[in-house]
Amino acid sequence: MFCDEEGETSSHLFLHCNFTFKVWSMVGGWLEINFITPQTLFQHFECWSGEIGKKRLRKGYWLAWHGSVWVIWKARNDRIFNNLTKIPEEIVEDIKVVSWQRALPRLKSPPCLFYEWNWNPKECLLR
């Protein structure tokens, strides 16, 4: 659990906790997407595909979304079980690494160095 505001539910943990809201806002800024946080995780995933017209870009963003959920879950477990706490910026950096490692091989993209991915993932995905 990242906060003591209310009981841990999947919606609160992944979407409505102030801590994870900051993480999603930073990831959205990095990927240049913006939307209002919906009520459920399923609706949140759907937001990541509604406005994205290019299939390759949509698939890359889906991988980034899955990577974000994975990294948030791991950070939550590290906090509870290992007493390790990360700030949102550290979690976003982990998300960038995980999504870079997963997206490019799965999408069979041309080589994209991590600094390029960090700076402009959209360009890497559209090569």
For the chain, which residues make up each domain, given as ranges?
Answer: 10-125
**What whole-number distance in Å separates Cα of residue 57 and Cα of residue 126?**
7
Neighbours of 46 (CB within 10 A): 12
- In this prediction, residue 10 carries a pLDDT of 85
Q: Report yes or no on whether pTM surpasses 0.85.
A: yes
Mean pLDDT of 54-63: 85
Q: Give residue 52's pLDDT band: very low, low, confident or very high (50, 70, 90).
A: low
Residue 22 has pLDDT above 80, yes or no: yes
Residue 1 has pLDDT above 70, yes or no: no
Residue 4 has pLDDT above 70, yes or no: no
